[in-house]
Amino acid sequence: MRLRMDRRAFVEGSVRLGTLALVGCRVTMHDGAGLKDSAAVASPSVRRSLTSSAAEDDVELYKKAVALLKASGVWQAQATLHSNFCTHGNWFFLPWHRFYLMYFEEVCRHALRQAGESDTFSLPYWNWPDTGRKIPGIFWGDGNPLFNSSRSMGPNDTYADAACGDGTLDSIRLINNFLDFGGGRAGAQQEWGGSGQLEGTPHNTIHAATGGDMGALASPLDPIFWLHHANVDRLWATWQASNPHMIPSYPNAQDSTAQSRQGMLLDGNFWLNFALDGFEDINGKRFTKKVKDCLDPARMAKPYIYDTLVPKNDHREGSPAPDGTHEPYSLLGNVAPKPSLGLSGSGTAKGVLRDLVYVELKDQGLVIKVDQTNKIISANINLSPAIRHYITRLSDKPSYTGSLTLLVEKIPIPTDDLVHRIALDFYANHPNLTTETDASDPQFLSSYSFFAHTHPGAPHTVSIRIALNQPFLRMRAAKVEPKKALLLQILVKDRLLQTLPNLDFFSSLHFRLCYIET
């Protein structure tokens, strides 16, 4: 294994040079050895889009498996596992659900085998734009095992473009750091660390808007859950293929999210070696799995790949061919070397960890305004010269590794009657924002829906991460890029189009803006 890093100029906005801990780390692993699960590599199964004709057999087998599992009680047991152990709002969200799905697929195969059916089943995935952002037709119809009568959406209702349209999925795919993409640091499986955008935007919205079972922790009771999550997992795999050596970065000393409540350093090593709990084999025996053992689906205990990994419009260099036949991502192997913190010196040398640039604007007496009439919560953030400098450097060249991130913290979780109804749509410097404004405007940043904040002991607020590189590049192209101040606007949208109550409770939000270069 070789660690490849180099050092860059170090600049820090509030004139505090010399904070030399690490925020970014890319690891290259050449030998691929040591992956506990690699014995079964032989022939990965292929998960296909439910809209492709090649998936017809799998859809039929899925229907049969769901009927069998419902009859045997295993269906309910799988949902209970989720209620008890599911992991949301932190950097374990993607790994936990990857394992959960892989074992569920095995549970389906087992049930099919026992019933004398073909067990060549692979879980299909539901790519939301491919069905016009509607629940696919195969999930409707009384008596259909794939139907769930608790949904609040009907067959003709659509999910918001802002949440799962192609434009949104594209900018999420282009996020260039794991924390913004996959979730913020946390020291425990169910500790809130900040939702990444794949989770907070399309994932949460589909749950919340579908409603019924899907809107709550027992969501795997709705058969659509599993195909929804297969797509989330596919988008992670896609992202991994474009960022093949990226793991969650090593924290900068200024990063207040880098220490767990128990005082542990939440670095890449911690993440890789964290044992996730709550998986069961076909005999119902429970076990834990380490994050590092799910990073390459093609090398997991029950290996799989996706039919299509990278959208055809991926313009970046070095992306694998979109045919699913590519060499499965040779990811990290299983150990990231421990960074030597406090490193200094200059020059670029192999084996030397990079310094990073990190600017953080703590809530500097920000005034948060709540416009009740237009349902807009806004705050004007002055952009320091340092941040302005980084904004001018933003680029979508593959070699560019800086990221500008907005952390929105202490978002109060609305009351039960409201929590599934509203979406928070984030805009910047929009001159005439109204409830009609949508994601097609260049000033659109991101959208967030609430989901899975109800574990016992969960906090009363959530925090989210919004990657700003892509939105700022879009604004630059449209010549509406914020220059001196970022007017952050949160449009509160009601999916039911009813009258929203007083929104003053949102005025306790916190914002942080950070720039990290790895």
Judged by the rule CB under 6 A, the positions of this chain that interact with ligand C2O are 82, 86, 88, 97, 203, 207, 219, 229, 452
Q: Which residue's C-beta sits nearest to ligand C2O?
A: 86
Give the sign of the dihedral formed by CA 380, CA 384, CA 389, CA 390. Answer: negative
| C-beta closer to ligand C2O: residue 354 or 455 | 455
| C-beta closer to ligand C2O: residue 214 or 357 | 214
| C-beta closer to ligand C2O: residue 86 or 272 | 86
| C-beta closer to ligand C2O: residue 146 or 230 | 230
Query: Left, alpha or beta for 44 (phi > 0: left; psi -120 to 50: alpha)?
Result: beta
Give dist(CA 182, CA 167) in Å, integer. Answer: 18
Contact 275, 15 (CB under 8 A): no
Through-space distance between the first and last CA atoms of the chain, rounded to whole angstroms: 20
Q: What is the DSSP letter of 484?
A: S
Q: What is the nearest approach in angstroms of ligand C2O to the Cβ of residue 452?
A: 6
H or E, element range at 275 = strand 275-280
H or E, element range at 517 = strand 510-517
Give dist(CA 228, CA 248) in Å, integer. Answer: 24
| C-beta closer to ligand C2O: residue 75 or 250 | 75
Q: What is the nearest approach in angstroms of ligand C2O to the Cβ of residue 79?
A: 10
Give dist(CA 112, CA 61) in Å, integer. Answer: 8
48: Cα separation from own chain's centroid: 21
Q: What is the DSSP letter of 199?
A: I
| C-beta closer to ligand C2O: residue 82 or 495 | 82
Tell me the C-alpha to C-alpha distance, in Å, between residue 74 and each of 65, 71, 86, 280, 366: 11, 8, 17, 11, 51
Q: What is the nearest approach in angstroms of ligand C2O to the Cβ of residue 486?
A: 31
| C-beta closer to ligand C2O: residue 146 or 357 | 146
Q: What is the nearest approach in angstroms of ligand C2O to the Cβ of residue 295?
A: 19
Q: What is the nearest approach in angstroms of ligand C2O to the Cβ of residue 220?
A: 8
| C-beta closer to ligand C2O: residue 96 or 427 | 96
Go through the chain and tell me how many residues it has. 518
Q: What is the nearest approach in angstroms of ligand C2O to the Cβ of residue 296?
A: 22
Q: What is the nearest approach in angstroms of ligand C2O to the Cβ of residue 88?
A: 6
DSSP string, 252-265: PTT-TTSB-TTS-B
Q: What is the nearest approach in angstroms of ligand C2O to the Cβ of residue 439?
A: 22
Give the sign of the dihedral formed by CA 379, CA 383, CA 388, CA 394. Answer: negative
| C-beta closer to ligand C2O: residue 204 or 249 | 204
Q: If we measure between CA atoms, which residue out of 498, 278, 491, 291 comes closest to residue 376?
A: 491
Residue at 102: amino acid letter: M
Q: What is the nearest approach in angstroms of ligand C2O to the Cβ of residue 37?
A: 22
